[in-house]
Structure 1
């Protein structure tokens, strides 16, 4: 298969020290193609699941970034840094000792919907400027808190002697785990700093399904890269399936509304999204909308 025809999702196990952009850049070199993007930024310190989108699948990258993620994070109590992880400079210290039960109780308070202030060392923009650019110039600015959700939070271990521990969390888009750990330390009356982070799941994609650069290089040498790629519609498995008739597929190809009689399995809820197929081939995401004449119709939401 010529490289220009590659299209699909490549699940990478991002190595430590690489930015998400670094991973994309290296894959462009291995695969000799430009049309590659990632779905969900990971800091250089972090490792784990990084969905990479190739060819036509790049249009789906934003959907992956919006999905929930699972992480295993290591933390140390007693000090804080300007980056909220161990790559930064120490800014504060505390000699307070915390017991296991106290840590577990404090962690439980961070479950659910909440407001989180993003760290200065982040790609969040304030007044058109990325915060990490300002931070590198020694500037700190007011950052508006953003709504995030911590769906699951579990203390996996805590060493009272070393004041170190690990936690597992499932969080919504935009949640900074290092900020969660920083705030956790403050709630204990001390400080906390993240020393490791591994993303173990992105959406429905688990770490066990990921490959490393060596596997991609081997596949490229054997002209077997296509075998590593997941089809784009794997990203949308939670959405219902709608199968179009020939007439429905022709209308969809022109961007025209598809009527229910042409769309078997079309949801009956306004604004619902669905995976749309014709003769077993994935065409697009469709959205159900109310028609001016009344009733519901299926519209093109995103093609891939």
Structure 2
């Protein structure tokens, strides 16, 4: 019998930009990244912070030059919509674990608001055992699955706001929007709110709705991406500077841009700034920098091939950034 002929594998290519993905439930962040990377035939890709398999929502994916700025999105504040099931705890803090300790739920709107308000501001959270945080090179969830509990150090996080979206008194489910700093464990917050209400709680659903300036309502699902042609997929690839969208912009003349890309500091008549994004005269992103005592000092620069690649991609309908401030040096 003749073996079936497989179609030739499509070659990978250098792509530069950011794709906003709506990660499905049950997928790891890396699974979703690899699927999108394959559909775009991209050479280099990375994501900007892990979402648990049970969580859904915004997962910014970085390709090529954009991976140089993925840490910015990783460090950015996040917004989540969380569903809390009151009246019962879970061994993992969410639906993956076994439920235990059922208790009656007798709370009113004022008590719910007061319990949520207790956790707004800077707080210390004890990382859950069922998390990807590592100790001695091993993820905590690996210890937990082996029945071992290890000592953990509380971490200081900031919860900027908790807004109550809905409360179902009959089902004992509370839906909240949480805007918080990186590293905040929403399942731990759910358990803490349940403790504050004296009825226990666990996380029944989680959806990330924002990461820094990026929003879920502009994201695509894997199904939508799969149904598109190759050109349509490319049309949704945003330029790398969307990761830096709330940074001031410095625009350099061509000769100054070349010197900056060569690693030279540039003299600018601009105030000190901890972080700016730098563009050439044609609008192309050159990299990130800071300004100290009238000097523009590069932090992360694109390579000449990356700058050229981005210029070539501008033949495709890449979506431009929306800077909050632009100055010319």
Query: Given the two structures, how large is their TM-score scaled by the length of structure 1?
Result: 0.90
**Correspondences of 1:57-136 after superposition (within 5 Å):** 57-136=66-145
Match in the other structure for 1:301: 299
Match in the other structure for 1:230: 238
Q: Name segments (4+ residues, structure 1) moved above 6 Å.
A: none
User: Is the contact between residue 114 and residue 147 of structure 1 (CA under 8 Å) also seen in structure 2?
Assistant: yes
SS at structure 2 position matched to 1:94:
coil
Q: What's the RMSD between the two structures over aligned residues?
A: 1.7
Q: Which of 281, 284, 294 is the matching residue for 1:281?
A: 284
Match in the other structure for 1:14: 23
SS at structure 1 position matched to 2:165:
strand
What do the CA deviations read for 1:48-105 (whole angstroms, capped 9, x no partner)?
1110111221122111111111111111111111221111122433235333321221
Distance 2:143 2:34 in 1: 25
Distance 2:230 2:138 in 1: 44
User: Is the contact between residue 70 and residue 243 of structure 2 (CA under 8 Å) also seen in structure 1?
Assistant: no
**Correspondences of 1:163-242 after superposition (within 5 Å):** 163-219=172-228, 221-242=229-250
TM-fit CA distance, 1:3: 5.0
Match in the other structure for 2:259: 251
SS at structure 2 position matched to 1:64:
helix
Distance 1:20 1:70 in 2: 17
What do the CA deviations read for 1:145-202 (whole angstroms, capped 9, x no partner)?
1111111101112222222111111111000111111111111122110101111111
Distance 2:277 2:111 in 1: 46
SS at structure 1 position matched to 2:26:
coil
TM-fit CA distance, 1:42: 0.9
Distance 1:107 1:273 in 2: 34
Q: Which of 250, 268, 273 is the matching residue for 1:260?
A: 268
User: Is the contact between residue 70 and residue 199 of structure 1 (CA under 8 Å) also seen in structure 2?
Assistant: yes
User: Is the contact between residue 88 and residue 202 of structure 2 (CA under 8 Å) also seen in structure 1?
Assistant: yes
Q: How many residues align?
A: 291
Distance 2:231 2:137 in 1: 43
Distance 2:179 2:230 in 1: 37
**Unmatched 5+ residue regions in structure 1?**
290-294
User: Is the contact between residue 6 and residue 226 of structure 1 (CA under 8 Å) also seen in structure 2?
Assistant: no
SS at structure 2 position matched to 1:223:
helix
SS at structure 1 position matched to 2:246:
coil
Match in the other structure for 2:37: 28
Q: Which of 39, 58, 61 is the matching residue for 1:52?
A: 61
SS at structure 1 position matched to 2:286:
strand
User: Is the contact between residue 250 and residue 278 of structure 2 (CA under 8 Å) also seen in structure 1?
Assistant: yes
Match in the other structure for 1:292: none
Q: Which of 146, 155, 177 is the matching residue for 1:137?
A: 146
